[in-house]
Amino acid sequence: MATFFRRMAIRYIFLTLFFCEDSGFFARVASFGINYGQVANNLPSPDKVLELLSNLKITKTRIYDTNPEILSVFAKSNVEVIVTVENVMLSQLNDPEQALQWVSGHIKPYLPDTKITGIQVGNELFTNGDTSLIQYLVPAVVNIHNALVRLGIDSNIHVSTPSSLEVLQESYPPSAGSFKSEISGIMSQFLSFLKTTKAPFWINAYPYFAYKDDPNRIPLDYVLFNPNEGMVDPNTNLHYDNMLYAQVDAVSFAIARLGFSGIEVRVSETGWPSKGDPNETGATLQNAQTYNRNLLRRQMANEGTPLSPRMRLEAYFFALFNEDMKTGATSERNYGLFQPDETMTYNVGLAAFAASSTSSTSISLTSSATKTKAASKEFQSLFFWMFVCLLTSAFCGFV
């Protein structure tokens, strides 16, 4: 009988050590992602960018093409890369053989040395009511995925596409989320593909645009993650203290409204411009710093949205650098956390994140709203380890 209890004790200890999520000893902050855009003529070389990411302990990035220099330089690094099929390529990918040729030339040569974890087929294919690009989406993702399968390299690479919030007909309150009727058929087919392949639904979500368009009605603190009263969804009674989480959950409700469940929603882009034109309300360095710093804190606290509080929201910041060759409003060239010379545009706390990847860092940088939650987990962890020590001591006494 004593042997039985000793075996059970050993099994409990080791199983708990390996599977307990709240254990302070093993817990670490999940890395956030950052978009590495290249629409500029003054950016550092890819090897310098890799060095920057490595120093900051950023292990996830997304690029907007399949730049061979970047993919080669990032080989044997710890950085996971999501690549993008440019929009101009989509019509060609209707042909399965063209898709196979594309994967053979743009993905396979870099595996397994470069950690390519995703292929984004196009970017924001539905904008301003134009359906000319999104009609190619489903054949393209299916053919790209099938090409990965044929080449035996599909196991670690998901295939999806990032959409803007323009795909939604309704987004407020979040429970009213629904896709626009003109693309609901395509979305149903696309969601079926995501469900089958277990790939996520990616959304480019920018609370900045909502605030810029209606600053008199939308509280600035609500969009910047600052302390505020927030809003309560009247249909679900879920409380939202920031707009980003409300936007993400609106997408989840839109997916559910089409009859799908279990599809994770991730944020492919979010950010705030540090400079803008006179009519771009809110585009200031202070607001950009506040938005990104507060989002970083929540990422480090592994937060989920009110609808999915136990699932960490995966988000990719936009963007790594200011990009001087982007067209359009001044804000378009001023989303970078860094200047092209690798100096910080403003301080969001990345240096502290780089100092440590343990849960203690998340406590030191979390806001007052999340500090209690993080401290509670550490407190629980302390008691857990005290219990393990006592149990181990008791076991040793029996031997």
Please, what's the b/e burial string for 154-184 (b: 16 or more CB within 10 A of its CB; e: otherwise)? Answer: beebbbbbbbbbebbbbbebbbbbbbbeebe
Catalytic, out of 51, 69, 97, 124: 124
| 281 Rama sector, left if φ>0, alpha if ψ -120 to 50, beta otherwise | beta
Is 86 one of the catalytic residues? Answer: no
* Active-site residue (options: 21, 229, 269, 314): 269
User: Catalytic site residue 303?
Assistant: no
Residue the block writes with tokens 């994770």: 264
Please list the active-site residues.
Answer: 124, 269
